[in-house]
Structure formats: C-alpha cells, structure tokens
Structure 1
C-alpha cells in the first residue's frame, strides 16, 4: 500500500485529459489560459496608460526597463515550460508520482535562483540600464521602476512556475482566476500609488509587485489544500540528474530565447536612442503592443500543451495530429486578425499610450512595421509548443532562437546603419517574416513524421 505522501487524489476542479473530444478539451483548457494571460497583457496596457500620463520620459524609462523584465521572466518561463512538459508527459504515461517529483524539485529551486538573480541585478542595475540606452534624463526614473520590480522578483518567479504546473495538470481555470485577481488589484492600485501617493513610476512597479504577492499566495493555498493531481512534498525533492536533464532540455531553449528576446530589445532601444527620447518611447509602445498581442497565442498554446504532452506520452499519435491541426487553424486566424487591426487602427491605438504628437508620429509607423508579419508568429509558437511537448529540445531551440536571435541580431546591427530609423523598422519585420517561414517548413516536417508514426501504428495492429 502507498503511504500518505504517495497517494494521488483526483481533484474535483481538474479537467480530465482523457476527454475523447479533443477540440472541446483544448478549448476548455485554453480559454482560461487565454483569458488569464490576456488579462496579464491588459495589465501591461493599464500600467503603460497610467505611466504615459506622466510624460514621454516616464514611458521611455519604463520601456528601457522592459528588456530586464523580459530577461527575468524568461527564467520563470524556462523553468515553467520544462516542468510543465515533464508533468504533462508523465501524467499521460500514468505516472503522477514522477510528475509530482519533478514539480516539487522545480518549486524548491525557484527561491534559490530568484534570490541569486535579485542580488546580482541590484548591484549592477545602473550599468544594465545604461547598457540598454538610458539617457541621463531617463536614468533616475528607470532606476525607480526597475529596482522596485527586482526586489520582488523571487515572488514573481514563483507565481510564474506555479501557474505552469497548475495548467499542465489541466486546471487552467484556477490559473485564470489567479491572473484576473492580480490584474484587478493592479488596476485598482495603479492610480492610487502613481498619482494619489505621488510615487510616479515606482508606484506602477509597486502595484505590479503587490498584485503578484497575492497571486503567489493563491497558488500556495492551492498546493497546501491539495486541490490538484500534482503534490508538493519535501520528500519528493531529490536532485536527480535524469530529472533535471529532462526539465532543462525543454526549459533551457525557452530561457535562452527569453535572453535573446531581452538582448534584442536592448539592441532595439539602443538603436532607437540615437534618434532621441521620442523614438525610444515610440519603439516602447510598439514593442509593448506586440508583446500584448502574443499573450492570447501563448495562452492558447499553454492550454493546448497539456493535451499534446499527455497524448504524446500515451503514444496516441492520431490525437496528437488532431490537436496540432486545430491549434494551427485557431492561432493563425487570431494572429492574422490582430495584425490587420493594428495596421489599420495604429493611430488611435497609439493615442491610448501617449498624447505627445512627436511620439505619436513615430509610433504609428513603428507599430505598422512591427505588426506587418505578425500573422506568422502564431505558426512559430505552435511549432515550438509541439516540439516542447514531444521533448524535441534541439529542434525547438532552432525555431525558438530564430525570431529574436540569429535572424534579428544581424539585421538590427546592420540595417539602421544603412537606412537609419527605417532600417530599425525593417529589422523587426524581416526577422518576423523569415522566422515564420522557417516555422512553416518545420511544421510540415512534423506533420509528415506524425503521418509516418500513424501508418506504422496501424501496420503493427494488423
């Protein structure tokens, strides 16, 4: 008989990953993730709108600090994605105990990693912001904002990894309500801290931090009350090489991609800085809007990943193929529509973030160019999610690193020198286009592989 720590109860709120209707299952899992992460994107919009009322320097300062936020988030995304892939595949194979061991180890490592990065960044924050292109007028404001977020980084990291684990076991609804709670609190605190208490951009960072504390507390209660399949136990925490390797194999490319994304933002802002503070603010608005557009795609893929990983672990390749096809059609439709809306309504959208005409004129053209080929982003992220679910880390890394890595970096270093600010805009558009075409090629190969596996499985049954 298993001991108390090894018994895995089936939670009432958990959505069964064995549901035979794949389309219905994906939507049941994905919709809460989409809502939750879209709320997270809306939170960024609300912060930017309030900060924008403080003037161009304030929005430029927050934009300058944005690559640091991306960099820090990439660590949580890497640990979370690696752990989620491990959890969902083991649940699919019927090994809930091993899934709990992986989740327990990940959550035990998070505070150590978070505190180490916090200390390292606090001692080098001014240099980091200078490297990102902060001018003397922007630096004090950027320091106020970034230092406040860095202090609370460990809690933010815990929140992210907890969310990945909960979604991987099928409870995307709880994750959604956690994010909605955090957004609501942030939106209520923003005007109070920024204007009423006159804390400026530091108030915006404090609002984010306080809302993250509440979200993390909700996850702590979730695991303490054993509301999911996965259990967190001190006895499960073992630094096993094979376990760490499996999590890191999927998570490392995600983190490295986040680092490349942060580096690309750094290069982008440094290139924009040569054209003045208004250009930094304009690029910041376009980049933030681009990031916001990705959240529903990421949310849909996170919800779907549980189905892909579970089906792959169960070696149900027909189900994998059906789920992946549905993911592509849904995500591509959304990304094309979002791209078209931004291109058509760029000016009124920009006015939400800034009332400065100098910033608006630059931001409109920047938003259009940045979103010109956004329709291909959906293809990229579905392919990455498929490869992560299958445990194919190397190929996942090739696709992951394309958009903000080996395609974008040479372009942003070269094109602005040749064509000025127009070259900066072309760099992002060209990288998006080429990365999307690469993802299309990989997607075709993966579906051909799935067809081959299905034929082999049918032949073995005969």
Structure 2
C-alpha cells in the first residue's frame, strides 16, 4: 500500500492553493473569485497528478477507462454511494443551519466573527482526529479478512482480531481527543489575539471552550464512523447522521435564543453526542463487529 505518493500530491496541491490564494485575491484583485480559482487550480492539478501515477502503476487501463462496467458490479457501489451522499447531505444541512442561526444572532457581525474563531479552535484537533477516521477505514476491513501464512500455517486476522483493532483505535481516539482538547484550551488566549475587538473575544470564549471539550469524544465519533465505512455499514452511518442532524436542528430552534452563540455550540454538542450513540449501537448491538454478531458468524463457520 503506497501512502507516501498521495501525501506528496496532497501536500503539493495545498501548497499551490496557499501560493495562488494571496496572488489571485489581492495582486490580481479578483477577491472571492480568485480564491475559487486558486482552489480549482489546486484540485485540477491534484487530479492530473493522481491520474498520471495511476497510469504509471498500471492501476488504470486506458481502453477500459470509458467502458461502462457491468450492472452487477456497479450496483454495490451505487448503493454505498447513495447512502454516503445522504450522509453528506445531512452534514451540509447541519452546517448550513448552524451558519444561518449564527448570522441571525446579531446584526453587528460579532457573533459571526466569534463563531469563526471558535471554528479555528476546533480545527486544531479536529483535523488530526478526522485523519484517524481514514486510518480506521483502511485498517479495519483489512484485519477482518482471515489470512493463513503459507509457510507456518499460522492464521491471522478475522473478526476477533478486527474487533481488537477497533478497541485499540477507539482508545487512541479517546486519549488523543482528550489531549488535543487540553491543547486547544491552552491555545485559546493565543487564538483570541486574532481579533482586536474585545466583544468578539468575549463572545468566542465559551464556544471555544465547548469546541475543546467536544474533542474528548470527537475522537470516538470520527474513528467509529471510519469503522462504519470500513465494514460497509453505509446506510447505518447515513441514518445515524440524519438523526443527528434532526436533533441538531431541533436544538438550534431552542438553545441559541436562550444562550446566544454558546447555544449554537451546545447544539453542535447535540450533533456529536447523537453520532456517538450511533457509533455505540454499531459497535455493540448490530454492527458486524458487535459481540453477538461475531458469535453468530463463528457458530456459522463451525
């Protein structure tokens, strides 16, 4: 498995975006359009580089590139893709609702600016924890397959081994999330210097603290949802996100009117807690790595 080449391409694309952004936005005087063009250029360059390397490693055959696959091979991808699109729709709806409520809190722009500062605080640890989700997507399904060493005859992998890997990943998610949350709390005074407006600093403090607190279980959420993707539980993941979105929208109708911007971030907490409940159900009740499901699979094999 080549993990270095995608990293290099992603690094190049992000550096390209970082260089083009100030040039197109300010030097070329294009403003927001320049930012969009910078992102487009970086994404297109990334796509071209990926295609070049895929051809070099014979992972893509030119004559089959535009050939329609058979329906029986395409159907599982369509089903999984549709479920994940439902999840993406729910996520986007959540963030859209949060943005809308934040913008309506006041007409001065203080709440919006404070919300942006809280988001920056959240992203310090959120990006790292989100990366662990990708790790779970690759590691867990590989471990679920039982393998036999041709020389020694020793068996490795299987459902029990995959469950042990999931437990270790979840432990790391909890520990790393807690550590990153503490780091964010320590960095809040530094991040608040990004705004010279005292009202913005004061409004951002409680949301930033909540963003730090949530990291303690965000590691569990992100890794747990990565496990769902790895085990192919796409529909359950999507339904869990939809339920979390519904709960968040309900919270957004009540909490911001009582607590202002802090209420918006309390609603974020509702969103992540409901997703965590979905992760718990998947891992302990009805997922393929739940204890009862593993026992059923082992009985069926015997």
TM over 0.5: yes
Specify which of 266, 272, 279 is matched with residue 96 of structure 2: 266
Q: Are 2:291 and 1:448 aligned?
A: yes
Report 1:32-431 matches (<5 A).
171-226=2-57, 230-235=59-64, 237-274=67-104, 275-276=106-107, 277-291=109-123, 293-313=125-145, 316-352=158-194, 354-403=195-244, 405-431=245-271
Conservation of the 8 A alpha-carbon contact between 2:132 and 2:223: no
CA distance in 1, matches of 2:18, 2:162: 39
Conservation of the 8 A alpha-carbon contact between 1:321 and 1:450: no
CA distance in 1, matches of 2:267, 2:86: 20
CA distance in 1, matches of 2:208, 2:3: 32
CA distance in 2, matches of 1:299, 1:282: 26
Extract unaligned runs of 5+ from structure 2: 147-156
Equivalent pairs, count:
286
Shift of 1:178: 0.8
Secondary structure of the equivalent of 2:213?
coil
Q: 1:265 to 1:197 in 2, by over 3 A?
A: same
Q: 1:247 to 1:356 in 2, by over 3 A?
A: farther
CA distance in 2, matches of 1:238, 1:288: 43
Conservation of the 8 A alpha-carbon contact between 2:129 and 2:173: yes
Q: CA RMSD in A?
A: 2.8
Shift of 1:176: 0.7
Higher relative contact order (CA 8 A, sep 6+): 1
CA distance in 2, matches of 1:357, 1:206: 34
Shift of 1:225: 1.2
Conservation of the 8 A alpha-carbon contact between 1:260 and 1:401: yes
CA distance in 2, matches of 1:421, 1:282: 8
Conservation of the 8 A alpha-carbon contact between 2:87 and 2:239: no
Secondary structure of the equivalent of 1:391?
coil
CA distance in 1, matches of 2:162, 2:293: 8
Conservation of the 8 A alpha-carbon contact between 1:317 and 1:450: no
Q: Deviations over 1:358-403 (max 9, x none)?
A: 3332222222223322221222222222222222233222333344
CA distance in 2, matches of 1:412, 1:193: 37
Shift of 1:221: 0.6
Conservation of the 8 A alpha-carbon contact between 1:335 and 1:376: yes
**285-294 vs 333-342, greater mean Cα deviation:** 285-294
